Amino acid sequence: EVQLVQSGAEVKKPGESLKISCKGSGYSFSSYWIGWVRQMPGKGLEWMGIIFPGDSDTTYSPSFQGQVTISADKSISTAYLQWSSLQASDTAMYYCARLIGQYNGFDIWGQGTMVTVSS
Amino acid sequence: QSVLTQPPSASGTPGQRVTISCSGSSSNIGGNPVNWYQQLPGTAPKLLIYINNQRPSGVPDRFSGSKSGTSASLAISGLQSEDEADYYCAAWDDSLSGYVFGTGTKVTVL
């Protein structure tokens, strides 16, 4: 079965760092772009960026450039999203998803990782 | 801030046809295919339509997509209670060199 499994929910304080993960299985992880999508409480979907695990080529949304870092380790079929200094406004659900071609959309989604930042 | 605009809500009774619009520009919908996602309450989004009007395996043919110029539409015919969800359009944006989602439409089955 093709799936993406994300790491569990996190509760952090402002200023702390965090790295969440997304592990793929059931397909050639290195061959498909992985994207990250933010959904703030009660709000819509926001595209954050994508990475090609085969060579770690990464593209960020202008809204998230410099705010987060997207990385991947193809040897363990895992993509990451990390923050160096969290803010309360980073409180959201974060989804990873597989991109089946630039125009074909995200066909497989992780279950989501809820990140709560509160003092 | 999304560059694809959708109505915030839509509704219908069981069996009715509901249509959701998605308005963009030449840099996204006007030049690239449109995808649609369904997000049931408390779950991850699901790809519903890709490349304007293609349905992934398992998606009922009650769902159909179309595109004209810089706008796209999703139609749900024979509305069912399980269709109550949020729906998002999306497309690649050449100006942003990235993927953009619509503002989302909440469909309510009356």
At residue B88, does pLDDT exceed 70?
Answer: yes
Q: Which of A103, A104, A111 sits opposite B44 (nearest CB)?
A: A111
Q: Which of A47, A109, A112 sits opposite B99 (nearest CB)?
A: A47
Q: Give the SS3 label for residue B97.
A: coil
Q: Average of pLDDT values for A79-98?
A: 98
Contact A105 B2 (CB under 8 A): no
**What pLDDT does residue B97 have?**
87
Of A4-13, A46-55, A73-82, A101-110, where does mean pLDDT reach its minimum?
A101-110
Q: Using a pLDDT cut of 90, give the percent of chain A over it.
A: 97
**What pLDDT does residue B2 have?**
73
Q: How does pLDDT run across B15-59, given as a tens digit for each residue? A: 999 999 999 999 999 999 999 999 999 999 999 999 999 999 999
Q: How does pLDDT run across A8-44, given as a tens digit for each residue? A: 999 999 999 999 999 999 999 999 999 999 999 999 9
At residue B1, does pLDDT exceed 70?
Answer: no
Q: Which of A59, A110, A112 sits opposite B97 (nearest CB)?
A: A59
Nearest CA of chain B to the CA of A16: how many Å?
26
Residues 55-94 of A with CB under 8 A from B: 59-62
Contact, B98 vs B32, CB < 8 A?
no
**What pLDDT does residue B25 have?**
96
Nearest CA of chain B to the CA of A59: how many Å?
8
